[in-house]
Amino acid sequence: MVEMTSKTGAQPRKVTNAQPIPDKDAEASPAGRFTYNQTTPSSEVKGAGALQTMLAKEFGNEEIKETSAPQPAPSRLSQPLSPLWSRILKTVAGLAILLTVGWMPMQRLFQVSSVEAVVNAQIVTIRAPIGGVIAEGLEGLRVGSTIPAGWELATVTNARADHTAIEHAGEELGAAREEQDALAARISRLAELRSGIGKRVEAFRIDRKNRVAAQIAEIDAQLTAAEAVLARAEAEFERQSSLTAKGAAAKAARETAKRDLDVAAAELDQAKARKAALAVEAEALAQSRFFGDGYDDEPRSAQRLDDIAETMASLEADKARQDARVARLEEGLTREKSLFDLASEAKLTAPTAGQVWELFTAPGEQVVAGQPLISVLDCSKLLVTAAVTEAVYNTLSVGMPASFTFREGSRALPGKVVQLSGVSSAASNFAILPSALTKEAYRALVAVEGMQHEGSCPVGRTGRVVFGKTSS
């Protein structure tokens, strides 16, 4: 039996070998089947030709050509595989897919890593140094604004600042300066008086020196005369002594000559003594020293000069002390002015570069000293707060190398463990409190390098920390 299908999608038609009948009696059955009888070889050939003609009319020449064309022999590769080989190939392919997909999760199972980790940074809170009103600034600041270090944030003014200390210090300084000026005036007057007295004393010294020199010259002349009188008295005494010894003169004459000799010797000694006294005075005058006498008041002027010098020395010491006091009062006044400036106005500047994290005030608001005004996120020192299991925590140590990878995927950033807080309360000046990590109670703080290059300030981004190795 041969089954043929038409291009038009009709039901398949079957050609069945039935009882041999003559070709002229061949007819189609109602179901589309054609039968013919095969009695002799000649009739077989004739029936085959008629069958081919009929098939050509039914299905077209193209299908007949395809049917009649010889089919190529099937190749070895096109033959179906045996069930054993098919099962082996499927098993190998499944294992390859499983290794490819499951390698990264399997690798993570062997790593000492965190359960959860978040990028963190310290918060710098700027507080009001004085009580007052927010007068300037804050207009352009918003949460998230980036500010450089030293940026002027706001100005707080206090119109009720106490300036009593400045007034008191100014009054005390004014009185000290008046006393300082009075002492300087007295010293100046005494200096002028000393100059006048000094000139008079110098003139007296010169006159006295000249007079002493004249007196010495006069005494020299008296010494010469006294020496001459003494020589004549000695000669007269020798002559009277000789005459008395011979009996030619009375003893009274000899005694008179002896008296005259003693008087002449005494006068000579007196003149020498006067000359010696004048020589001492001359030497003192040469050294600007005076001997007082009751006949001239110039030596008392010299003593007055000494009194003036002593008074001036005392006044200069007082002025020096007063100068030091004035200097201290000036420093005190400057200090009080500085304190008043600090109490009356305060300019708030950013202590570090970063981002505005929170604004607690607004322009025109009354604030008190110590009130928080602005908090700044210090993005220059980023850290990673990691929550780990107790088993992992017990294997960690400060200084241990680690690496951090952002959750959305990036290269592993190197770092190291800087703090192990465990279950104790860690520092609370972080942007994200460690208590926000709730999956595990044990926490570690990791300093990571290069996170600033991943973003302007990636605080709050999550990731994963692997302990014990760094990125290559």
Which tens digits make up the pLDDT trace of 242-278? 888 877 777 788 788 888 888 888 888 888 888 887 7
Q: Give the closest residue to 323 by CA, choosing from 168, 176, 138.
A: 176
Tell me the average pLDDT across 320-327. 95
Encoding tokens for residue 9? 């999608």
CATH 1.20.120 fits 165-319, yes or no: no
Scan for tokens 């400036």, then name that residue: 341
Residues forming beta bridges with residue 465, ordered by sequence position:
404
Phi, psi of 156 (to 5 degrees): -110, 125
Question: Measured between alpha carbons, how far is 186 from 192 in angstroms, rounded to an integer?
Answer: 10
Count Cβ atoms within 10 A of the Cβ of residue 421 and give its class: 0-12 exposed, 13-18 middle, 19 or more buried: middle
Least confident of 31-40, 50-59, 165-174, 462-471: 31-40
Residues forming beta bridges with residue 367, ordered by sequence position:
132
Q: How far is CA 247 from the centre of its chain?
A: 127
- C-beta of residue 413 within 8 angstroms of C-beta of residue 448: yes
Query: pTM value?
Result: 0.50
Question: Measured between alpha carbons, how far is 48 from 65 in angstroms, rounded to an integer?
Answer: 16
Tell me the average pLDDT across 73-81. 52
What confidence tier does 102 reach under pLDDT thresholds 50, 70, 90? low
Residues forming beta bridges with residue 136, ordered by sequence position:
155
Q: Which of 232-236, 287-291, 362-366 has the highest mean pLDDT?
A: 362-366
What confidence tier does 367 reach under pLDDT thresholds 50, 70, 90? very high
CATH architecture of 116-124+375-467: Beta Barrel (2.40)
pLDDT, tens digit, for every residue of 374-412? 999 988 888 999 999 888 989 999 999 999 988 887 788
| The pLDDT of residue 426 | 61
Buried b (16+ CB within 10 A) or exposed e, 365-396: eebeeeeebbbbbbbeebbbbbbbbeebbeeb
Tell me the average pLDDT across 123-132. 91
Q: What is the CATH number of domain 130-157+345-371?
A: 2.40.50.100
* Position with higher pLDDT, 11 vs 55: 55
Instruction: Please provide the average confidence, as pLDDT, over all residues in the chain.
Output: 77
Question: Measured between alpha carbons, how far is 113 from 323 in angstroms, rounded to an integer?
Answer: 73
What confidence tier does 289 reach under pLDDT thresholds 50, 70, 90? low
What confidence tier does 41 reach under pLDDT thresholds 50, 70, 90? very low
Tell me the average pLDDT across 358-374. 91
